Structures are given as C-alpha cells and as structure tokens.
Structure 1
Amino acid sequence: METFEEMDSSNVPNRTWGEIISHAFDMYKGIFLYAILALVIGAVVSMIIQPLSGLDSRSFSEEITSADGDFSSINIWAIPGMKLYSGLSGIASLLLTPLYVGIIYLANKYDFKQRLQVSDLFIGYRQNFLNIVIYSLISSVIIAISIGMCILPVLFVIPLLLLGYPILLFENATFSEALSKSFKIAKENYMVFLGASFLGLLISIAGILLCGIGIVATIPFYMVVMYSAYIAFCGRPKQLNFNN
C-alpha cells in the first residue's frame, strides 16, 4: 500500500468529535458549490435511467395512493420497469461513488489553499477507481445487513466505515486495506467516531427541514466529515498531483 507523506500539523483538528465537525464546517464552506454540482450530476444520471428502464412512474404513484397508508400490500416488483430500474440504479450508484470521493479531494485542496477546479470532482475515476467501487459495494452490503437487523445497529456500524474513502484516495489502498484500517482506527477511538458520524449525518440530512430543498446543500457535508476525521487521526496527506 502506498502511503503519502504527512505534512505540517497546522489546521489539523484535535481528536474530538466537536473539533472534527468544526473543521469540516470550515472546509465545506469553501467547496459546497462543487459538492452541490456532484449531487446535480448524480440526479441527472438518475433522470436518464428512469426512461431507459421503462419504469412506469404513474403506476407507482397510483400504488402508493391506493394503499391508503397500508404499504405492506404493495408489490413494487410488479410495477413495470421496477426490476430493471433498481438494477440500473444500483450500478449507477456504484459508478457515481468516485464522483462523491472527489468532494474529499476538493476539501483537501481547499485545506492546502489550492485553486479548485470542476475536474477535481472526477479524481476518483483516475485514482484507485476499481477499489473505490468495490469498497462502495462492500460497505453498502454491510449497511444493508445492519438496516435489515433494525435501524439502531446501522448507527453503530457506520462509524467503522468513516475513514474508508479517504484511505482509498490518499493512500491508494486496496478495498480490504481500507476496510481493515478504518475499522481498526475507529474501534480504538469509537466514541469520537460515533459522535462525529452521528452529528455529521444529522447535519447532512438537516436540509429536509427546508421542505427537502435544503438537503441538496447539506447532504455532501458527510464526505467532508470523512476528510476531517482522516487528517485528525492519520495526519494531512501530501497533495495529490494530477494534470487537469
């Protein structure tokens, strides 16, 4: 596994969840427009997928309306195009993950006071793409299993995955190395990771309070929390250099 040289310790948050969230806020203020662009790109891809799958959104709406609150009776797989749409959406979500990892890279560039560019969002397609996608698949399965057990277990599992994407990006690690290192550091500092993850997720979904519109501006915040937690426990990585 290739590691990057640690830089000076200035502007590195203390290893507390409060310091990590505060640092993430400082970073997010400088990159949030790029983060919103990443979400818009993801939304456009989703809009393209629906007509390709032949999903009948009218039938889906009618099923929801006619259920009258009893959603257990709905057979979503009987809705025309739903199976194909789910399959294509799953594949698209995996392939879009490197785009969201680009938010972490932008936070790093902003941290180093480097000039930001739209092309920075796509670094995950040039740096360790395959391992990022595999890690995304594995972490999605872990989270899905946790949700299947109940909502509560997933809240305790998510902190263990907090450092995965920064490790993949800055250390060029394999998916197994990223999982192992993220789990190890999080277990040794679990309460800090739990606090940072919980508050980071809470802030990320806070936009729902603004009739759902504000979530576009807040949901990428969690990716920046990953970066702030990473530099708190692993140090600031050397700036990655790519010709944009």
Structure 2
Amino acid sequence: MNKEYIEFKKERDLGSIISDAFKFIRLEGKEFFLTILKVAAIPILIAVAAMIYYMMSMSSIISEDINGAIGMFGAAMIMLVAYLIAYVFINLAGMYYIKSYIDNKGKINKDEIITNTKNKFWSFTGFGFLAGLLVFISVLLCFFPVIYTATVLSLGASILVFENETSSGAISRSFNFISGHFWETFGIMFVVGLLVGVLGYVFQIPAIIYQFAKMGISMGSDDPSAIFNIYSDPIYLFLNFVAIVGNFLFYSITLVTNVFIYFDINEQKNLTGTIEKIDSLGQ
C-alpha cells in the first residue's frame, strides 16, 4: 500500500502549514529520522560526548587551579563547535530528504541525500556564520531589528537548498523573498516555536526533577562542593542525553514547517507548483 503523498508546492494558510507539517512527520517520520540519523550520527554523537565532557568539567568551577578553569572553557568551546556541526548536518539531511521526496514524488534516494549534504556543508556553514553575524548586529541595535532579521533569515536555509544558492546569495535573496510576507512568516514561526518549545520542555522535566532532588540532598552535606557532583552523575547525564535527543526530534517540526513556509511564499510569488502542474498536463 502506497503512502499518501503530500504536495509541498502550493499555497497554505497558517493552520494548513502546521497540520501538514505534523502530517508529513506522521507519514514519513520513521524514514525521515532514520535518514537524518544515518547522515548526522557521528556529529550528533560528538555533540553529545562534548556535552557530557563539558558537564563533567563543571566541577572545575570551584577549583582555584587556573588549569581547571581553562579546561572548562575549552570544553565549552568544543561543545559549541560540535553542536554547530551537528546542527548543520541535521538541517541539510532533513531538507535534502524533503527535496528528494518532492523530486521523486514521495520516494527517497538516500545516496543522493548523503552526497548533497556533504557537498553543501561548507556553504551552509558559511550561511550560518553570516546569518549569526547579522542577528548579533541586530541585537546590538534594538529589539525589533533582531526579530525582523531572524525571521527573514529563517528561510535562508530553504533558499540555499531548494534554489541551490551560495551562502551569500541565500542571505541577500532572503530579504527580497520575504518582502510582503513578513508578518505571516513571523506569525507561523512564533506559533510553531512556542509549540515546539513546550513539547521539547517535556523531555527536560525528568533531568530538572532529578537535579533539584540531588541538589536538595547535597545541601545537607558538610561539603558545599558536593552540589557540583551532579554534573558527573551518570543518571543525570543520561537524562540530559534523552533531553537532547528529544529536542533534536522536535526541532524537525520547525525544519519541516520552514520548508512549507518557503514553498507557500514561493507559490504566491512565482506559481512554480501551478506551472509544473500545467506543464505536466501536456506530457
């Protein structure tokens, strides 16, 4: 029995974008996540290992040894870089999965996804660096510019992949692309971000409860530094690992939603899907 095919290249309202994003994940979720895991498994494992290493190094915060402080700072830098690399691979793998899904009408070419992800890694990394720099500058200006810049650049990744743009080309194209569609894009992103944030928080609750329980026990100890032992507690580390995996899974909702927003605006501006349907009638 063939799975239902979801058409990306068409106009949608807010409700349809969100419902179709969840529908896509429901229908394609297993293969979608397994493909991302296959492509990004090593970066994700490195990111998790870096997180564990950083948390275990937190004990150095009470050490007067300068080497301990330097070690914790180095662990934080390693974790940051590892997370950024994992983020790049997850985004590219997810979007090239959707691209393969669209190009092949519901069928997936995993080898193509892996190849495209590797080929686009540096372009996406460059885009992420430029986008982060622009958002940082916007933060320095005031509140509204950062909202505008972040909303505009949220579609840059889709432009990079689906229009095969360069990193700088995706940045400049984003501002023209979203023109006239800022508020609808911001509205959808706000609703989805709130929803994903609440769902992702569910995975953090066990770690938070365990942390407060251990901190309560440690406070009764004669050794005030005992409170920092939780950062090397294997149960606490495992619960944080579960929280990270859960957040990665729920992040896919944001990723898929952004792609639907991109195609919605693209259809309104260029009627790409409509033109393709008309052309297919003559074949």
TM-score > 0.5 by shorter chain: yes
Question: Which residue does 1:23 correspond to in 2?
Answer: 20
| C-alpha distance in structure 2 between counterparts of 1:221 and 1:155, whole Å | 20
- Alpha carbons 1:203, 1:219 under 8 Å: kept: no
C-alpha separation between the residues in 2 aligned to 1:53 and 1:195?
A: 36
* Local SS of the residue matching 2:9: coil
Q: What is the aligned partner in structure 2 of residue 204 from structure 1?
A: 196
Unaligned runs of 5+ in 2: 1-5, 205-242, 267-271, 277-283
Q: Is residue 106 of structure 1 aligned with residue 97 of structure 2? A: yes
With CA pairs under 8 Å and 6+ residues apart, which has the higher RCO, 1 or 2? 1
Contact 2:151 2:185 in 1 (8 A): yes
Retained in 2: the 8 A contact 1:14–1:232? yes
Report deviation, 1:42.
Answer: 4.5
1:15: Cα distance to partner? 4.8
Q: Which has the higher helix share?
A: 2
Whole-angstrom CA distance in 2 between matches of 1:146 and 1:180: 16
Give the AA of the match of 1:158: A
116-125 or 191-200, which moves further after superposition? 116-125
Q: 1:223 pairs with 255, 258, 262, which one?
A: 255
85-94 or 98-107, which moves further after superposition?
85-94
Given the alignment, which residue of 129, 149, 163 partners 1:137? 129
Deviation at 1:98, TM superposition (A): 3.5
Which residue pairs with 1:67 in the alignment?
A: none
Determine the C-alpha separation between the residues in 1 that align with 2:42 and 2:14.
Answer: 31
Matched to 1:83, the amino acid is F
Q: Distance in 1 between matches of 2:114 and 2:132?
A: 22
Mapping of residues 169-188 of structure 1, within 5 Å: 169-188=161-180
Secondary structure of 1:228 counterpart: helix
Residue aligning to 1:4: none
Cα 1:142–1:101 shift into 2, 3 Å: same
Q: Which structure has the larger Rg?
A: 2
Percent identical across equivalent pairs?
A: 19
Q: Does residue 87 of structure 1 match 2:88?
A: no
* Cα distance between partner residues in 2 of 1:159 and 1:22: 21
- One-letter identity of the residue aligned with 1:84: G
Residues 50/118 of structure 1: CA separation in 2 closer, same or farther (3 Å cut):
farther
How far apart in 1 are the matches of 2:179 and 2:76? 34
- 1:124 is aligned to 117
Q: After superposition, what is the alpha-carbon deviation per residue over 1:53-85, rounded to whole angstroms, capped at 9, x for unaligned?
A: 89713235x69xxxxxxxxxxxxx973423322
Q: Whole-Å Cα distance in 2 between the matches of residues 91 and 11 of structure 1?
A: 33
Between the aligned partners of 1:54 and 1:194, the Cα distance in structure 2 is 35
Q: CA separation in 2, counterparts of 1:50 and 1:209?
A: 18
CA distance in 1, matches of 2:115, 2:254: 18
Residues 20 and 183 (structure 1), Cα distance of their counterparts in 2 relative to 1, 3 Å cut: farther
Deviations 1:137-187 (A, max 9, x none): 111223344456677654433210122111111222111211111121223
Q: What is the SS of the residue equivalent to 1:14?
A: coil
Q: CA deviation at 1:123?
A: 3.1
Counterpart of 1:193? 185
1:42 to 1:195, Cα distance in 2 relative to 1, 3 A: farther
Equivalent residue, structure 1, for 2:108: 115
Quote how far apart the aligned CAs of 1:190 are: 0.8
CA distance in 2, matches of 1:55, 1:81: 11
For structure 1, the 5+ residue unaligned runs are 1-8, 64-76, 239-244
- RMSD after superposition: 3.6
Residues 139 and 145 in structure 2, CA contact (< 8 A), matched pair in contact too: yes
Find the aligned partners of 1:129 and 1:16 in 2 and give their Cα distance. 32
Distance change in 2, residues 1:54/1:210 (3 Å): closer
Q: For residues 201 and 32 of structure 1, do their structure 2 counterparts lie closer, same or farther at Cα, with a shift above 3 Å needed?
A: farther
| CA spacing shift, 1:142–1:28, aligned 2, 3 Å | farther
